[in-house]
Amino acid sequence: MDLGSLAIAVLSAVVYSMSMYVKKHLNPDNPQSFDRVKFATTVIWGVLIGIILDMSGVPINEQSVEEQFLIYAGLIALTENIIKAVVRALRR
């Protein structure tokens, strides 16, 4: 397993999670406090995405760290939103 790729996925998850917190915390209509569970869940998704991409043979070569960072952050956001939508639909 490529630990560098896993580290980038985790870092992407942390930055994504913190950016969403700041965005919601600064919302004047409905400010949100820091939620450790949401933060931990996002980091876990980052780890899982990094492991899955590494094990599936997706080539992670000498591409720039910025490109990998954006790809991981996008995948984390996409999977999080899909799962939230499914959970909300099932609760109805």
What is the model's pLDDT at position 66? 65
Whole-angstrom distance, CA of residue 55 vs CA of residue 13:
19
pLDDT tens profile 46-55: 777 777 767 7
What is the model's pLDDT at position 64? 55
Whole-angstrom distance, CA of residue 51 vs CA of residue 8:
11
What is the model's pLDDT at position 62? 56
Quote helix, strand, coil % in the chain, to nearest 5. 75, 0, 25
What is the model's pLDDT at position 30? 78
Whole-angstrom distance, CA of residue 13 vs CA of residue 32:
19
> Which residues in the chain land under pLDDT 50?
none
What is the model's pLDDT at position 43? 75
The token pair that represents 91 in the structure block: 């609760």
Q: What is the pTM of this model?
A: 0.53
- Which DSSP state fits 59? -
